[in-house]
């Protein structure tokens, strides 16, 4: 009979979570720490790291690092190696929103989200964090994991990679679509070294992204209405999938794109 404890065993694993001080990344950090992993949070929010590390407890710790700062990120990975002696699982999760799309939740045209008014700096930063930041993180993960001949990489993409959400700023979707394809390519390249690469594609989750946009009743109602089960996701909802992809349970899964969205994608498309 399958031993459930062994299937989901991550005790002692060395785990990095980028963007782990808040939201979905915090959910990943929490569930891995709750099951005995040694978790290092990398985030730009120093106060958020302190708060989260204190609240999660266990062997969790953190470092300030920006996924777009290549030397800084590399130094943070080196520090994890020095402290843990290994890097077994990397969650490339840090991401930012892109502001409003060309429609508001009521379906009216929103001038700020239209292409001719779109700030080039906004496009550049969203692509830099949400796509290039994933490249920077996976490159470092691959270097360390190839040396160890194994590891798990889990990237947070979005259902926005597969649909056109008019209320979401357009660079967000372009970056996430790029992330999905990058993950598939990395799965192909790194499989021979025992490294599994997958992405989690959430639908709407209650987090601090976009300044906690989903706290706004109108936005929240719009996203709740898209869900086939009538609600948006909570951090508890993300934990099972994170543990699955980090543990022996998913040892034959790579190059996968797993939607976790209460079925929203079916309604929006």
Ligand X SMILES: NC(=O)c1ccc[n+]([C@@H]2O[C@H](COP(=O)([O-])OP(=O)(O)OC[C@H]3O[C@@H](n4cnc5c(N)ncnc54)[C@H](O)[C@@H]3O)[C@@H](O)[C@H]2O)c1
Active-site hit among 135, 172, 244, 252: 172
Q: Is residue 99 at the binding interface for ligand X, with CB under 6 A as the rule? A: no
Q: Is residue 22 at the binding interface for ligand X, with CB under 6 A as the rule? A: yes
Neighbours of 103 (CB within 10 A): 16
Residues 159-188 vs ligand X: string with x where CB under 6 A?
------------------------------
Residue in 96, 126, 195, 260 binding ligand X, rule: CB under 6 A: 96
Closer CB to ligand X, 68 or 79, in the complex: 68
Closer CB to ligand X, 196 or 199, in the complex: 199
Residue in 93, 110, 198, 264 binding ligand X, rule: CB under 6 A: 93
Residues within window 27-46 making contact with ligand X, judged by CB under 6 A:
43-45
Closer CB to ligand X, 133 or 151, in the complex: 133
Q: Is residue 153 at the binding interface for ligand X, with CB under 6 A as the rule? A: no
Residue in 129, 138, 174, 190 binding ligand X, rule: CB under 6 A: 129
Residue in 15, 17, 24, 166 binding ligand X, rule: CB under 6 A: 24
The size of the interface with ligand X (CB under 6 A), counted in residues, is 28
28 noted as active-site residue: no
Among residues 166, 127, 151, which one has the least CA distance to residue 77? 151
Q: Please say whether the beta carbons of 255 and 187 come within 8 A.
A: yes
Minimum distance from residue 70 beta carbon to ligand X (Å): 12
Q: Is residue 237 at the binding interface for ligand X, with CB under 6 A as the rule? A: no
- Provide the terminal-to-terminal Cα distance of the chain, rounded to the nearest Å: 41
Q: How far is CA 79 from CA 74, 136, 195, 227, in A?
A: 9, 16, 21, 41
Q: Is residue 48 at the binding interface for ligand X, with CB under 6 A as the rule? A: yes
Q: Is residue 25 at the binding interface for ligand X, with CB under 6 A as the rule? A: yes
What 3-state DSSP class applies to 252? coil
The two tokens of residue 208 are 């601090």
d(CA 183, CA 198): 6
d(CA 184, CA 199): 9
Residues 6+ apart with CB under 8 A from 18: 25, 42, 43, 65, 67, 90, 91, 92, 93, 94, 133, 137
Candidates 1-9, 74-82, 186-194, 201-209; binding stretch for ligand X (CB under 6 A): 201-209
Residue in 21, 33, 76, 196 binding ligand X, rule: CB under 6 A: 21
The two tokens of residue 13 are 């694993």
d(CA 127, CA 134): 10
Q: Which alpha helices (DSSP H) does 85-190 contain, by range?
A: 120-127, 133-148, 170-190
Q: Is residue 94 at the binding interface for ligand X, with CB under 6 A as the rule? A: yes
**Binding footprint of ligand X on the chain (CB under 6 A):** 18-19, 21-25, 43-45, 48, 66-68, 93-96, 129, 133, 156, 158, 202, 204-205, 207-209
* Catalytic sites, residue numbers: 172
């Amino acid at each position: 009979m399958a031993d459930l404890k062994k299937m989901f065993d991550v005790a002692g694993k060395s785990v990095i979570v980028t963007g782990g001080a808040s939201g979905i990344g915090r959910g990943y950090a929490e569930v891995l720490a709750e099951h005995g992993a040694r978790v290092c949070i990398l985030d730009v929010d120093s106060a958020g790291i302190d708060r989260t590390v204190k609240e999660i407890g266990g062997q969790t710790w953190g470092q300030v690092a920006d996924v777009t700062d290549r030397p800084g990120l590399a130094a943070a990975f080196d520090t994890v190696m020095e402290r843990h002696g290994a890097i077994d699982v990397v969650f490339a999760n840090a991401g930012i929103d892109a502001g409003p799309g060309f429609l508001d939740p009521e379906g009216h045209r929103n001038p700020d989200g239209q292409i001719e008014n779109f700030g080039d700096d906004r496009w550049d930063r969203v692509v830099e964090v949400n796509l290039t930041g994933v490249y920077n993180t996976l490159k470092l993960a691959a270097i360390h994991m190839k040396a160890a001949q194994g590891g798990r990489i889990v990237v947070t993409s979005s259902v926005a990679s597969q649909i056109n959400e008019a209320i979401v700023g357009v660079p967000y979707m372009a970056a996430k679509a790029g992330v999905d394809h990058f993950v598939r390519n990395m799965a192909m390249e790194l499989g021979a070294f025992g490294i599994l690469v997958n992405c989690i594609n959430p639908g709407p989750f209650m987090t601090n992204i976009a300044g906690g946009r989903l706290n706004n009743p109108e936005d929240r109602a719009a996203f709740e209405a898209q869900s086939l089960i009538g609600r948006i996701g909570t951090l508890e909802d993300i934990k099972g999938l994170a543990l699955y992809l980090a543990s022996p349970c998913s040892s034959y899964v790579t190059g996968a794109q797993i939607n976790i969205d209460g079925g929203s994608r079916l309604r929006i498309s």
